[in-house]
Structure 1
Amino acid sequence: MDRPERILGNVATRLLLENDRVRIWEMDLAPGARSATHRHEVDYVLVQIEGDRIAAMPEPDSSGAYTEYIEADVVPGKARYIRRGGIETAINIGQRRYREILIELK
């Protein structure tokens, strides 16, 4: 039996800027909200802006930094470089709005 084709969404909720070198996104999730399941096609930098707890739920075929479900405290201003390949859903498991800036490196 064939599996239905997986539909993937954007890596964040709003595209802020795109040029020939970068694509800059904002992720904005209310408490309990989930992002679209998405694939990171390029390396990127993630900068946490606000929130208290965030989780990432990778897909079974994800080849990115996270291959198992992970929960973490949010540290506003924290920046992290992440290699491409992840297929995941972000989940705001906190009590406050979660925001991040995600900079894709082309």
Structure 2
Amino acid sequence: MDAHVEQVGTTVIYQDDHVRVWILDLPPRGASQWHEHHCGYRFVVTRTGPVATEYRDGRMEPQDDQVGDTSYRQPDESHRLVNLGDSPYQNVVIEFLGSR
């Protein structure tokens, strides 16, 4: 993995010239690192729980994700995902590297 890649997940499980796939594990009440997505991406929820996207200006975008939920997002501003629940949360993030 390139040193300049931001930590958008916990672990990169696959990467080629077109996609980078991360597992994002959040412990209860935990949060991801602050990061930005520089290309389009999709996430798929694999462990359910209430989470919120927190932005640098303090805005919170709550989500009540269910297993199998998926969403496509465009490159975006700096944020982190916060686990609001008492159980571990997990999703898979697929970055589409050619969509920068």
TM-score by length of 2: 0.86
- Residues 9 and 32 of structure 1, relative CA distance in 2, 3 Å threshold: farther
| AA partner of residue 40 (structure 2) | D
After the TM superposition, which segments of 4 or more aligned residues of structure 1 sit over 2 Å from their partners?
Answer: none
Correspondence for 2:65: 74
Listed one character per residue, the Cα deviations across residues 9-50 of structure 1 (whole Å, up to 9, x for unaligned) are 511111111000100000000101111000111100010111
Alignment of 1:5-24 (within 5 A): 9-24=6-21
Of 84, 91, 94, 1:100 maps to 91
- State yes or no: 1:43 paired with 2:34: no
Q: Give the gaps of 5 or more residues in structure 1.
A: 1-7, 61-66
Q: Is the 8 A contact 1:51 1:94 kept in 2?
A: no
* Count of paired positions: 93
Distance 2:70 2:10 in 1: 19
Percent identity over paired residues: 25
Aligned-pair distance for 1:85? 2.0
| AA partner of residue 46 (structure 1) | F
Query: Larger Rg: 1 or 2?
Result: 1
Q: Is the 8 A contact 1:31 1:95 kept in 2?
A: yes
Q: Give the gaps of 5 or more residues in structure 2.
A: none
What's the C-alpha RMSD, in Å, of the aligned pairs? Answer: 1.7
